Structure 1
Amino acid sequence: MSTDAPGGEAEITVSCLQFEPRIGDLAANRAAGLELIEAVAEAGARLAVLPELSDSGYVFESRAEAFALSGTAAESETIAGWAEAARRHDLHIVGGFCERDGGRLFNSAALVGPDGLIGVYRKTHLWDAENLWFEPGDHGYPVFATPLGRIGALICYDGWFPEAWRLLAMQGADIVCVPTNWVPMPSQPASLPSMSNILCMAAAHSNSFCVAAACRIGTERGQPFIGQSLIVNHEGWPVAGPAPEERPEVLTARVNLADARRKRRLNDFNQLLRDRRTDLYDEMLGTDLTPGWY
């Protein structure tokens, strides 16, 4: 693993880039994302996270529009731009893009490093009208080994499913990056953190990994988004954010990814993943995924 500071085993600087993509404006969205990436990289970030569908915008009017704003992972100009920035700055980037694969579309997140595209996660739980444009993800829950640590990804509504978080933990994820476009929940009490933030905090705590969630802001074709990006440590406590609801914000925090493993024990008797009752439920929740070292 990388050491980013004297005495800081696997300690890295993580940034979440909260901004407002514009539906259909690929060039401007790419430029806005790259401008933020350049700024955080020059400030020392080693891992940057952008919102869901950060290149295309979110509220499509038709499948034809979504298809026109998509690209394959191998040929995406968005990913090519991220890869160039990652190469120049020795940076890793996770960002949402509209992925085309033959005649299918996916709401996807790419992980890019200094050597180019590392892998793609496809959103597995589609929200509302996404079901009209996208196919449910078919890549499972990959965890990518990088010089920084083991990186997993979820997208927005995926975070409502504890199984998704747990399968990433069981494959050894040290940090889960969440490109997201959270929307208001009508029943949300104003006095409490947003449900999306609570779910990120709970998942980080119960699985002992860090979470970096980057949300968009603004209103697109009548749909408002809530911002409130945040970075959570392995104990479940925010170390940056939540960001404001209505303005762009760059969140930056230092997290020690080794703590996700070294400090998983809660006391002399309890360790979160070891204490699972696998005599009562399947270790990998009935999937054919292979557990990693945890």
Structure 2
Amino acid sequence: MTELSALTIAMAQYSQLPIGKPFGRFANSVRHVVDVHSTAGARPELVIFPEMHLFGTGDLPQDQARRSKIAAATDFHDELTENLKALAKELGIWLIPGTIPEQDGEGGAFNTAPVFSPAGELVTTYRKICPWRPFEQYTPGDSFAVFDIPGKGRIGLTICYDAWFPEISRQVAWLGADMIVNLVRTTTPDRRQELVLARANAIVNQTFLASINAAAPQGVGESVLVDPEGNIIRQITGSQEGLITATVQLDQVRRVHQTGTSGTNKVWEQFRPGDSPVPLPLYEGRIDPDRWSAPVD
């Protein structure tokens, strides 16, 4: 198996920008993230922003906020998309600009995370499967998304409340994600539980997990980067704006699969061909041992 090289990431725990703010403000903040850390040492290759970073609605009532986001929703063939493509290409980075309201074709919107490559291409999108009901009125997505950073590893996407449903992180890990990026805009006291879930999802799936929340006043912060054994690599304590930067070796995921968490637990080897299938009535499905194995490239 080809050894992967290290990946430098930057997680921007920044305050939301209001809908309609000139794109240049966001572009300059991304340039600053890249430039500052380029002069300090390792240049960020993957830059990540929180959920709905570009679509703040301030103190608008819920219904009005929803209408504003639907009015601003994209089909990913618009000026915003072209600007994001151009920015990623200008800086030569992988860019996850938070999430964006995407037209659902029926007058509503998905909560969608796009990913842009250093070539200026939109490489994938992920629609949030679990909107925070009853408060969020987004249309739920129904599929998963991973993308490869050549020579570095595979990244999977989840959005905020998705983290509360272990099936979603498990599926993304099964698709081979070396790191799960969870884009968040949590405003509520349950962020402390989400930090537990970030570590738990990393441990049970043996993946890196990056949980990036918005800063005050739109979020409570507390962003965290966790390794495949549940150890915290970097964390921002508090709701103030801040930046997590780290250089990670995603090959660590493969080593943990081989040696086990803490040298003990090899969860991807639990079910093996020849074992009896385990019915899962909740899903009208089953764990099929022939399909349970460590993710592969």
Q: Are the counterparts in 2 of residues 33 and 50 from structure 1 also a CA contact under 8 Å? A: no
Match of 1:128 among 119, 130, 133: 133
Structure 1 match to 2:87: 85
Task: Go from structure 1 to structure 2 and tell me whether the alpha carbon gap of 1:234 and 1:10 turns closer, same or farther (over 3 Å shift).
Answer: farther
State the Cα RMSD in Å. 2.7
> How many angstroms apart in 2 are the aligned matches of 1:262 and 1:128?
38
SS of the residue 1:27 aligns to: coil
The code of the aligned residue for 1:240 comes to R
Superposed, 1:8-87 pairs within 5 Å as 9-24=4-19, 26-28=20-22, 30-42=23-35, 43=37, 44-57=43-56, 60-62=62-64, 63-75=66-78, 77=80, 79-87=81-89
Q: Choose 1 or 2 for highest CA Rg.
A: 2
Superposed, 1:50-199 pairs within 5 Å as 50-57=49-56, 60-62=62-64, 63-75=66-78, 77=80, 79-94=81-96, 95-102=98-105, 103-115=107-119, 116-132=121-137, 134-138=138-142, 140-147=143-150, 148-185=152-189, 194-199=192-197
> How many angstroms apart in 1 are the aligned matches of 2:177 and 2:241?
28
Q: How many residues align?
A: 269
**Higher relative contact order (Cα pairs below 8 Å, separated by 6+ residues):** 1
Q: Does 1:261 align with 2:254?
A: yes
> How many angstroms apart in 2 are the aligned matches of 1:86 and 1:235?
31
Deviation at 1:163, TM superposition (A): 0.5
Deviation at 1:32, TM superposition (A): 4.3
Deviation at 1:218, TM superposition (A): 2.1
SS of the residue 1:263 aligns to: helix
Task: Go from structure 1 to structure 2 and tell me whether the alpha carbon gap of 1:31 and 1:158 turns closer, same or farther (over 3 Å shift).
Answer: farther
Q: Deviations over 1:214-258 (max 9, x none)?
A: 2112235xxxx21111111122112111x1333110110111111
> How many angstroms apart in 1 are the aligned matches of 2:17 and 2:47?
20
Q: Are the counterparts in 1 of residues 104 and 139 from structure 2 also a CA contact under 8 Å? A: no
Q: Which structure features the higher share of helix residues?
A: 2
Deviation at 1:22, TM superposition (A): 3.8
Unaligned runs of 5+ in 2: 38-42
Unaligned runs of 5+ in 1: 4-8
Task: Go from structure 1 to structure 2 and tell me whether the alpha carbon gap of 1:83 and 1:108 turns closer, same or farther (over 3 Å shift).
Answer: same
- Taking only the aligned residue pairs, the percentage that are identical comes to 25
Q: Give TM-score scaled by structure 2 length.
A: 0.80
